[in-house]
Structure 1
């Protein structure tokens, strides 16, 4: 059995043979009958909006006219749309690698929608000339897109296509799992003895079939590169046929506290390790040292910052004016770039524009803005290097292999007096040395001569908030109070973005509306909005309504209550990923309103999760004849909870929600 690891690394040359009878899907493109529409519910998921009946792919190596091999990838998929929530299964994307004006070729695309109308099967074909579109993602990736025509609840859709590729290193991956359940997902690779690939398996699903057999095959290829004459070559070579099948694969839906579902779907990928032609062995596995050197030489990445860039001296001198230390100079340059440039794209690792144009236009992608920052820091004689990472929403990087397609973001690392500062000048509300949450996604790589690996882990950052509330009686019979709240830094980032977008008055209005209706807010201030180095502070003054009721019901948490459990599902198939360490403290000190006494207080509680106290919730409350003291604290030290710990985590949050919803009961005193 395959171990339930997120990632399993192994060589195709050493895959264990599984003794199992061959099993195949009997479906064929275009063979649809009325009975295929009968099934309305599938046992794999009775609530599914669509089901992929079969998804079958294969890759073979064929000799070509260039004296080498080409990859021929074929795919067939059939799906059943059960209701309108399943329409997304009809949106298809086909990625194609391209380089130096050459690209993989999409051939023989066919796509058909079938509907049962008055007991007869009607089909609508995709117009592959008019209804297939293309998006260029970056310099090495483009995507062909189409949507099936005439889809409706009950439709059956299927497509087939081929991709012909001369890029041997780009052996097609296979995704076994996704938004909709799959009854049968199969991938076959026929690999000649000349190539060795490392396989990268991801996900929690076991294979239904995993096997390989070896046979002998005749290959034909020709080569006319050397002369006007074409040389032809025929030879036999050993070929290993690999088969991977998953059956009844459940859908994987995005749930709360997930970086991206793509980190956990079951899939298999390949990395070319070596080429073993007769009398020649070539290790083609890239190293980070080589990749980093190549990146530093490329005009669309590192070459612009390797130059002296004396044309930036005026801007640097303007930015550092008045600064006397390197640290202050770095802060000034960072603030100058952050405050003068607008980011137009937050998911680019390569440069589309020159740094001169970025400076002129005062805008650019996050990579362009941060590369300009690096160039300016270097002009100021401050050590600075680009750091390439993958954001949380983009997915994990591979810890061993330099797979650049898994990276999508560039920041700056400045070194001053042996201290490193991570900087992102593309974010308008970030302080010096601060990064947005999305950057904390594990391993990143400094692109320098050493290709230094660094860790940006969620477990190294904390979001700590502290709320303090006082309620007291006045001599004129009123009950008034005040609240001060210091938000966590990452909460403050979100608040600042909201304030910039909607205005401070709307932000204050929203905060006021979150307070219990029995409180009349007389003053509300927000400070440190533009002090990006620190957290936002909120201050409020209020009066408590008292209509003379016999009973007063008061939740001691005037704000910041957890209204509902973020973990809805009864079980979870992949980890819970918290963005940071939580530490939230709320304290209330109040006078009991005149003429009232305590009828009931919530019970005190301390709940701990895990042997190592991965999370702790404290709820402490007490009273004397005139006052009530209340303090609650929620700490979550651990940021990654595997699926087997989900049930306990969910129950922990159930308790927190229930406890934070409890009320103090005050009763009017009876007259003597």
Structure 2
């Protein structure tokens, strides 16, 4: 599209809007003195290996020489490296987008390392020959360099400009990261004729968030013709958006985190439309449009609507012996799961045809699940593919069809008024089950309606039941029986470990973790090949301890929570457990012959909060020569907000403390 259609148009609109805050960072490239080296410990994080003094960026839309517009992104950063653990802060990467022979251009790169020598600032400049190019893919080029002469106490800084003709690739900005930031600022100058959606996230407040309007002239040249270069100009209102965060702590990964990318303070942009005085055009369509395009795409769903007669023999072979439709669907699912190998996860599109996937007996997760969808459709079922984003990939947005926010394809089977979600790419995964990585919020059914879904970890219950019975045998020895039914996901992991290491390794690990000297006498695993059901772990055991005057027993044995998963004193983003939990442990133990109880843990029962989102009970009784224990931990939620962290941490402190307590038996004085 050329701008000559509106070359003579001048727009003069005036608005009364807030003006920019006058506060700004005084840090500028090349302006550095010995005083800048004085701080060796920063109050924001006394243990930081490096601190980002200033990180400033701006993006402006400018006229280009191709009759259109370009993005001009400028970036400046200064970092104080405090010790050797911060040396990797000197490794810099600049990501450049490429497509159809065009590539974003890195311009004006300057990078310097400063060291204090004899109370004078010595600088070492980056040699341009030390900038390397890494072509990661057809669409991604990475420029890499490492600042020279890095020492403990070095200050480094760099600046550059990226010129881009890809208007959809307006640079995002991260206000937070691995190292603390004293000042992080981003300015975007947005003309009224370009519409972008702003996607902001994070928990750190803005120090400055404002905007101002101004009238700006855009100069455009068009030298694509065979005659002389044509010049155009356009006056339009431009809004300067400015975001500043100050004293931003580093974001460190804690337990029960989907991905830090879900929580890091950042802002992203998506091109939505062109506006007047350009020819109005919608760039970002609806979910229904996006779904329709995917269903027509040869790289996704085009083959699903075809007859696919070549799959007839596959259906016949896979469904032998099926007695009803559900059994038929299960057999087709098992056929794909058990006969195909997944070569890659985190894909959205076909990289080869469905016929070749079947022939090769391999494919990425999208290919295997699209093949499963095609076979089920051929067998007469109603099935649709589903797009989702796994926990490690980050959240997807419900409002906008942003394909790069998704990274996984599964199938949805509609049968008997019920939905079954299927993933045939994971060996030993049960029918109608998904890995907990798939429970990450918004997902989309790719059908005419583009139906939204919500996979919440709160909907998963990982139940576990353990029963231990210990008695005195006729030889005066304590012998026991353990019966355990792990939850679905623990069973899934156990099956995979058994497949890789064997059953003996499983019971060897159980023996090591038992918290007592035992010998396993007999062992059995139920439902090992019934992937839709949890395992059954059963074994008999005998204590091998000598007859001592004092016997110490941790009654939880191998089932105790030994460590609090929440170790940090503070947490600035949510706790995201993969599922809710309900663990029950029951013990009955005879008092050993010739002994009596000396110490017994106290009973306790507590609720997590007033809403009863969790509870812990630990009940003991000593009656008729035996001790009975019931321990139950229940959490009915998997997601907890940062302000709930202290309560959750204290809850597990209590669990760990109670589970560490022991029963003490002492030899009777007159046995």
Q: Secondary structure at the match of 1:405?
A: helix
Relative to structure 1, the CA distance from residue 267 to residue 309 in structure 2 (aligned partners, 3 Å threshold; closer, same or farther) is same
Q: Distance in 1 between matches of 2:561 and 2:552?
A: 18
Please provide the CA RMSD for this pair. 2.4
Q: Secondary structure at the match of 2:343?
A: strand
2:332 is equivalent to residue 336 of structure 1: no
Q: Distance in 1 between matches of 2:516 and 2:280?
A: 76
CA displacement at 1:626 relative to structure 2: 0.8
Q: Distance in 2 between matches of 1:151 and 1:426?
A: 46
User: Are the equivalent residues in 2 in contact too, given 1:223–1:232 (CA < 8 A)?
Assistant: yes
2:342 is equivalent to residue 351 of structure 1: no
Q: Distance in 1 between matches of 2:155 and 2:499?
A: 47
Match of 1:7 in 2: none
User: Are the equivalent residues in 2 in contact too, given 1:18–1:209 (CA < 8 A)?
Assistant: no
Match of 1:551 in 2: 550
CA displacement at 1:357 relative to structure 2: 2.6
Match of 1:29 in 2: 29
Match of 1:310 in 2: 309
CA displacement at 1:411 relative to structure 2: 1.0
Q: Report the more deviating stretch, 589-598 or 91-100.
A: 91-100
2:202 is equivalent to residue 197 of structure 1: no
CA displacement at 1:483 relative to structure 2: 0.4
Aligned positions, number: 659
2:620 is equivalent to residue 621 of structure 1: yes
User: Are the equivalent residues in 1 in contact too, given 2:516–2:553 (CA < 8 A)?
Assistant: no
Match of 1:45 in 2: 45
CA displacement at 1:127 relative to structure 2: 5.4
Q: Distance in 1 between matches of 2:588 and 2:435?
A: 35
Q: Report the more deviating stretch, 605-614 or 531-540.
A: 531-540
Match of 2:420 in 1: 421
Match of 1:637 in 2: 636
Question: What are the residue-to-residue correspondences of 1:1-20 with 2, within 5 Å?
Answer: none
CA displacement at 1:24 relative to structure 2: 2.7
Relative to structure 1, the CA distance from residue 136 to residue 375 in structure 2 (aligned partners, 3 Å threshold; closer, same or farther) is farther
Relative to structure 1, the CA distance from residue 670 to residue 173 in structure 2 (aligned partners, 3 Å threshold; closer, same or farther) is same
Q: Distance in 2 between matches of 1:62 and 1:391?
A: 37
Q: Report the more deviating stretch, 457-466 or 545-554.
A: 545-554
Match of 1:442 in 2: 441
Q: Distance in 2 between matches of 1:490 and 1:232?
A: 65
Q: Secondary structure at the match of 1:243?
A: strand
2:267 is equivalent to residue 241 of structure 1: no
Relative to structure 1, the CA distance from residue 143 to residue 304 in structure 2 (aligned partners, 3 Å threshold; closer, same or farther) is farther
CA displacement at 1:625 relative to structure 2: 3.6
Q: Secondary structure at the match of 1:583?
A: strand
Match of 1:4 in 2: none
Q: Distance in 1 between matches of 2:341 and 2:514?
A: 36
User: Are the equivalent residues in 1 in contact too, given 2:588–2:627 (CA < 8 A)?
Assistant: yes
Match of 1:64 in 2: 64
What do the CA deviations read for 1:413-452 (whole angstroms, capped 9, x no partner)? 1222222111111111201111111000011001111111
Relative to structure 1, the CA distance from residue 307 to residue 133 in structure 2 (aligned partners, 3 Å threshold; closer, same or farther) is farther
Q: Distance in 1 between matches of 2:217 and 2:16?
A: 26
User: Are the equivalent residues in 1 in contact too, given 2:481–2:540 (CA < 8 A)?
Assistant: yes
Q: Report the more deviating stretch, 344-353 or 243-252.
A: 344-353
Relative to structure 1, the CA distance from residue 661 to residue 115 in structure 2 (aligned partners, 3 Å threshold; closer, same or farther) is same
Moved over 6 A (4+): none
CA displacement at 1:49 relative to structure 2: 1.2
Q: Distance in 2 between matches of 1:279 and 1:565?
A: 59
What do the CA deviations read for 1:93-125 (whole angstroms, capped 9, x no partner)? 433334444333333334444444666655555
What do the CA deviations read for 1:290-315 (whole angstroms, capped 9, x no partner)? 11111222222222333333233333
Q: Distance in 2 between matches of 1:297 and 1:66?
A: 33
Q: Distance in 1 between matches of 2:108 and 2:136?
A: 21
User: Are the equivalent residues in 2 in contact too, given 1:618–1:632 (CA < 8 A)?
Assistant: yes
Relative to structure 1, the CA distance from residue 513 to residue 81 in structure 2 (aligned partners, 3 Å threshold; closer, same or farther) is same
Relative to structure 1, the CA distance from residue 143 to residue 330 in structure 2 (aligned partners, 3 Å threshold; closer, same or farther) is farther
Match of 2:86 in 1: 86
Q: Report the more deviating stretch, 654-663 or 227-236.
A: 227-236
Relative to structure 1, the CA distance from residue 551 to residue 415 in structure 2 (aligned partners, 3 Å threshold; closer, same or farther) is same
In structure 2, runs of 5+ residues without a counterpart are 1-12
Q: Distance in 1 between matches of 2:632 and 2:135?
A: 49
Q: Distance in 1 between matches of 2:526 and 2:16?
A: 63
Q: Distance in 2 between matches of 1:358 and 1:386?
A: 17
User: Are the equivalent residues in 1 in contact too, given 2:130–2:145 (CA < 8 A)?
Assistant: no
Match of 1:522 in 2: 521
Match of 1:374 in 2: 373
User: Are the equivalent residues in 2 in contact too, given 1:17–1:210 (CA < 8 A)?
Assistant: no
CA displacement at 1:245 relative to structure 2: 0.9
Q: Distance in 1 between matches of 2:174 and 2:511?
A: 47
Q: Distance in 1 between matches of 2:482 and 2:183?
A: 58
Relative to structure 1, the CA distance from residue 406 to residue 141 in structure 2 (aligned partners, 3 Å threshold; closer, same or farther) is farther
Q: Report the more deviating stretch, 631-640 or 544-553.
A: 544-553
TM-score normalised by L of structure 2: 0.93
What do the CA deviations read for 1:263-314 (whole angstroms, capped 9, x no partner)? 1111112233432222754343321111111122222222233333323333
What do the CA deviations read for 1:396-427 (whole angstroms, capped 9, x no partner)? 11121111111111111122222211111111
Q: Report the more deviating stretch, 291-300 or 652-661.
A: 291-300
Relative to structure 1, the CA distance from residue 95 to residue 374 in structure 2 (aligned partners, 3 Å threshold; closer, same or farther) is farther
Q: Distance in 1 between matches of 2:528 and 2:128?
A: 53
Q: Report the more deviating stretch, 520-529 or 414-423.
A: 520-529
Match of 2:6 in 1: none
Match of 1:320 in 2: 319
Match of 2:252 in 1: 253
User: Are the equivalent residues in 2 in contact too, given 1:17–1:211 (CA < 8 A)?
Assistant: no
Q: Secondary structure at the match of 1:85?
A: helix
User: Are the equivalent residues in 1 in contact too, given 2:25–2:183 (CA < 8 A)?
Assistant: yes
Match of 1:648 in 2: 647
Question: What are the residue-to-residue correspondences of 1:554-593 with 2, within 5 Å?
Answer: 554-593=553-592
CA displacement at 1:202 relative to structure 2: 0.7
Match of 1:405 in 2: 404
CA displacement at 1:29 relative to structure 2: 3.0
User: Are the equivalent residues in 2 in contact too, given 1:71–1:168 (CA < 8 A)?
Assistant: yes
What do the CA deviations read for 1:4-44 (whole angstroms, capped 9, x no partner)? xxxxxxxxx9x996566412333333444444333211121
User: Are the equivalent residues in 2 in contact too, given 1:606–1:616 (CA < 8 A)?
Assistant: yes
CA displacement at 1:586 relative to structure 2: 0.5
What do the CA deviations read for 1:302-358 (whole angstroms, capped 9, x no partner)? 223333332333333221222242222221121111112221211111222222332
Q: Secondary structure at the match of 1:647?
A: helix
What do the CA deviations read for 1:48-78 (whole angstroms, capped 9, x no partner)? 1111111111111111233221111111112
TM-score normalised by L of structure 1: 0.93
Match of 2:503 in 1: 504
In structure 1, runs of 5+ residues without a counterpart are 1-12
User: Are the equivalent residues in 1 in contact too, given 2:21–2:210 (CA < 8 A)?
Assistant: no
Q: Report the more deviating stretch, 607-616 or 311-320.
A: 311-320
Q: Distance in 2 between matches of 1:231 and 1:170?
A: 27
